[in-house]
Structure 1
Amino acid sequence: MAIIVKFDPSKCQGYANCLIEAPEIWDFDEDDDVALLLQEVVPESLRAKAEASARGCPAHAIAVENQSDA
């Protein structure tokens, strides 16, 4: 089952912890100092990385949900 990564860029404070935890899912816009979500629908194989990126976000700008919950 795929998962959904929800991201609120208005909460992002530019720590880039998400990118460190899951570079397959995130990029970073250095000009605007904000994370960029590369893929909202993430395969199950990246669940641990997606969840780590959410836990590592001090601004609580990231949430991970099962696709059926979205």
Structure 2
Amino acid sequence: MKVTVDASVCIGAGMCALTAPAVFDQDEDDGTVVLLDGTPPPGLHAAVRQAGRLCPSGAITVLDTGDPGDR
């Protein structure tokens, strides 16, 4: 799994940081998404996918790389 974020479209809703706090955080100044781990371990993949689905601005992109843990 490969995760990327586009902070320029982030609206600071914070769903990502609430859903997968080991992978996402929010900038202290403007609340936009901060990616902590662009290649999260398999145990976090479900939460990362959920965070991507919940993002109202579409700032999170989750790419399954074909590794067994991506499913």
User: Structure 1 length as normaliser, TM-score?
Assistant: 0.86
1:43-69: CA deviation from partner (whole Å, max 9, x where unpaired): 11111010011011000111111235x
Q: Identify the residue that residue 32 of structure 2 maps to in structure 1.
A: 34
Where structure 1 has 5 or more consecutive residues not aligned to the other structure, the ranges are none
Where structure 2 has 5 or more consecutive residues not aligned to the other structure, the ranges are 67-71
Higher strand share: 1
Q: Identify the residue that residue 64 of structure 2 maps to in structure 1.
A: 66
Moved over 4 A (4+): none
Distance 2:49 2:33 in 1: 16
Once superposed, what is the RMSD of the aligned Cα atoms?
A: 1.1
